[in-house]
Structure 1
C-alpha cells in the first residue's frame, strides 16, 4: 500500500512569469483549466467547496446535480469560477477532470453512461485529450470495473475509484482519507486532485482496489458498532458508570472507533452524534448500504462470513424503527434498549 500525504495545494502557480504558470492538467491553449463535479449531496457539496477554494481563481468548475436547488445554492455561494451544467454530458464535454460523488451503484453506472455514450465525447468537445475521471462513490466493485472498462476501452478517459473515509465532518474540514484503485501511471494525478479535498491518499492497487479496501473497512465498522453498543449496554446494566466503562474499553483490547470516537451512549463523548440525539454523523441507512455491498462482494468472491448476515438483519430493523430512522448508525444502542 502506498500512502501519500495530501496537504499542500498541488496546483499552485509558479510565480516566475505568466508562461511559467501553465499547469500540467490544462490542455487548452490558454492558462485556464476546467473541472467538473457531479453529485452535490452532503459529502459532495462540501468536497466541491474545498475543491473550488483550492483551485486557481481563473479555473472554471462545472457542477451538476439532479437536485437543481443544490446546484443553484452552490452557484450563489461562488460568485466567480463556477458554472452549472445542464446535464452530465455537458460536464464531460467541458471539463478535463471530472469528480463524481453519487449515492448508489445504479447512479454511478447511469451517470457514466450518459457521459461516455455515444463514444464521441472527445469529438463533441473543445479538447480531444482523454478525460480524467475520479469516482468517490462507495459502490460495488463490479459496477466500478464496468464503468472503468467503458472509459478505457473507448479511449475517452482514465478512471480511478477513490472512496473516502471521514464523513461529512471530514468533507467539510478537508481532512478526508481517500482509498484509491488506480494504474500506477494515474496515481500522481489522482493524488493531486484528491489533495484539494482531503488529507491522505492511500493507493491500494489497480482499479477496484480502493473500493475493496473501503468495503472491508466499513464491514468491520458496522460490526464494531453493534458490538460496542452491546458491550456498553451490558456494562451499564451491570451497574457500571458509562464514562468509566468507555474509558476502560479505550485503553484495553476492546478499543475501536465506535468506542473511542463515536461512542453510542449519550453523554460519554461530547459532540458525538449520540450526545446530540443521534443527529448527524454516518446515517444508519448509509451504514447498512455499505454493509450490504460488502456482504455481496464477499459472497461473490466465495468468502465465508459468520457475522455479516446477522448484522444486516439488525440494521434492516434499526433503519425502519420510527425512533431510529435518519439517525447516526450508533442509534443501534437505542434500538437495543440502551439506557439514555
Structure 2
C-alpha cells in the first residue's frame, strides 16, 4: 500500500480548546511519485481513524479523480491525497508545486511569516517581541485570552512599544461579545493589524460592535460557510489541512480577495510535507500578508529535512520539482 502512519512529538505540550496536544499523528500518502500528508486535528478535521479509512478508500481508487472523491468529506485525508496529486503533477512537469497551483499566474519566490509570542507577563512579552524583530520578523502575533482582558491590553501595549512591527493578537475565541465591545476602543488605539478570532467560533454575531478593530477569522471557518465569514471578516486565516487541501485553500484565498478580505495562510501544526505545501500555496497569493508558517520549531522531530526554513522572517519557496520535500512513503500500512 502507499500509506505510512507517523507520530511526531511536540517540543512542548500545547494547550488548545480541544485539550492538550503533545504529539501529532498522521499519515503520508503516496501515488504516482507524489507524496502528501494527512495530519488530522481534533476540532478542525475528522478523527484519526476516519482519516485512515478515507485514505485507504482513496488508495483503492482507480484514478486521481476517484481517489479525491473517496475522501471528499474528510478534510485531512483529502489534503493528503490532493497534495500527493499536485506533487506528482509538478514532478512530472519538472516544476515547483507553486507553479502548478498558480496555473500560469506568477508566484513569489519567498513568503513573509509572522513570529508567535505565547502567553507571558508584560516584560516577557515585550522582550519576546523585541527579539522577534531583531531576528527579522516584520509581523508578530501575540497570544491573548488566557488572562483578564485588561492584562492582555497591557501586554499588547508593551508589545507595541517594543518594536516597529505589524502586531496581531490571537484570542482563539476566548472573549465574549461584551468583553470585546468594552475593549474595542483600547484595541483600536493599539493600531493592531488585526485581532484573530476574538469571539467564539460557533457564532458570527457580535462582530458589528467591533468597528475600528480589524478582525481575522480562523476557527470560524470550520463552523461557517466561507461566504458568511467573508461578510464579517477583514482577514481570513486559511489552514489547508482543515479546508481539505492547498487547492481548496487557494480557491478560498481568491474568493476572499474578490470580496475585499485579505487571506493569511497558516497550518494545524503540520509536519514538513504539509507545511511546505502551504508555503507553495502562500507564494501563489499576490502580495500575501505575513503567514503563520513559522511552526517547525513546535515539533521535536520531523519527517524529513525541511527544505523551506525560516530565515529573517521569510521562507524561500523551494524551486525543485514538486513540493521539494525528500521523503519516502514506504509500504508499512
The answer to whether the superposition gives a TM-score over 0.5 is no
1 or 2 for the larger relative contact order (CA 8 Å, sep ≥6)? 2
Which has a greater percent of strand? 2
> Which protein is bigger by CA-based radius of gyration?
1
Q: TM-score, normalised by structure 2?
A: 0.28
